[in-house]
Amino acid sequence: MAEELDAKVWSELPAEILERVLRWLPFSTLCKFRAVCKYWNTLPTVRAEQPYILDIPCNTKKDYVTCLRYCCLYSPTANTWDFIDLSFLPQRMTQLSSCPCYWTPQIERFCSDGGLLCVWGKLLERDLRDYFSDIIPHYTILVCNPLTKRCKLLPPFDFTYQGSIDLVMKRESSGEYKIFAVALAYTGEPGLYLRHYMYDSASDSWMLLLDLKRDCSDVSLLRFGSITFDGVYYCVSGGGRQPYDLYAYNIKQNSWIAAGVKMKLNPKTTRVLFVVSNARLLLIASILEEKLYFSINQVDLRRTETMCSPADYVSLPANFTWKRGVALAYRDSIIFASESKCRFMAVDLLSLSADLKELKSITPMSVIPTSERYTQTNMANASFDVQATV
């Protein structure tokens, strides 16, 4: 009979060693671990800096609630998929928004940082949404801690917008956080406007940072990406006949340090996305010519970006669409996630080496059957921390 371990050994085990052991557990097991006792609940078993890819299936017209029963969660550390419960969000969104119970949410964007999850969606009347297209939805932005299920409804914008473009969160070490939201607005004039807002949790208020007019009349041709890096909020937009412009806003100084820097990207670019890897800010663009490629440029505000030559492109598999994918820096590589199938939702994973040359597949793959009635996925980077407060 094997000798049992002395309980005193575990009670005196340094927190650093215990944390290294526990971070290999599945996410759902970690949540159960924290609920055992108060001491275990205080251990940093789920760290805010631990990277994840969160995959929330998008809503269908017929079923707005079931998509939030759970969502998929990928951990690069363990190279496994798990699930996290978000079934509490629909009820909390309607309750905090003071909407009747027959209004249901449709998630459009979400982002995460420092253990908090920010969800941007709209509430629609359940019985009327399929019959009247002119119903004005009730837009709302909610911040929550998925582990503690504590939620906070953010104040509304000062205008009615027609759609969400991007959402970025930055949580400081003090616990305060800022959220950057980009909304699409039509004014009746030719073209459209991208309105950049910043929310400050300290003042619980929004501030309009930039009202950017785009000549692109077709929203589907608009390419956009944003990120926070080293205390600066970066955003780039372009597409169609619109050239690509780069903007950079210093968060601490509350001022723009670069505005309208012209970027020479391939006119056949289908998507742009920022990623931070090895202390470098990279702009990744997918290019569709005869097949799909990646171009990768390091962002440097001191010079204008140059277009990559075809010799510098990274070739992608034929079934890797990257229409709604994300990129996550992990150790010395960059992990790309994208839906890869048509008749059922799947998330395929690719890893790019530190020298940005070698691309290889990662297993396993997350598969969502069509019986769930999901039409597409919506992925973003995520982090979790039981001590994060809204």
> pLDDT digits over 210-262, tens only?
888 887 767 777 888 899 999 999 999 887 777 888 999 999 899 999 888 88
Within a domain: residue 260? yes
Strand 333-339 with 345-352, pairing: antiparallel
Tokens of 317: 């598999």
* Residue 10 forms part of a structural domain: no
**What per-residue confidence (pLDDT) applies to 61?**
47
- Dihedral, 22, 23, 24, 25 alpha carbons, nearest 10: 60
User: Does residue 84 lie within any of the structural domains?
Assistant: yes
Where the chain has pLDDT below 70, the residues are 1-11, 15, 23, 35, 43-50, 57-70, 99-104, 124-137, 158-162, 217, 303-311, 319, 323-324, 339-347, 363-378
d(CA 60, CA 58): 7
Domain presence at residue 23: no
Q: What is the pLDDT at residue 304?
A: 58
In a domain, 291, yes or no: yes
372: exposed, middle or buried (C-beta count within 10 Å: 0-12, 13-18, 19+)?
middle
pTM of the model: 0.84
Compute the mean pLDDT over every residue in the chain, rounded to the nearest whole number.
76
pLDDT at 208: 92
CATH code (residue 255) = 2.120.10.80
pLDDT value of residue 256: 92
What's the confidence (pLDDT) of residue 233? 95
The whole domain housing 175 covers: 47-382
When divided into structural domains, the chain yields a total of 1
pLDDT of residue 370: 41
CA dist list (Å): 45 to 20, 40, 106, 226, 334: 8, 8, 32, 30, 24
pLDDT given at position 302: 72
pLDDT at residue 116, as a whole number: 92
Nearest to 165 by CA among 109, 82, 239: 109
Domain membership flag for residue 387: no
Q: How far apart are CA 151 and CA 269, in angstroms?
A: 38
pLDDT at res. 280: 85
Neighbouring-strand partners of residue 235: 226, 247
Is residue 178 included in any domain, yes or no?
Answer: yes
Any domain includes 213: yes
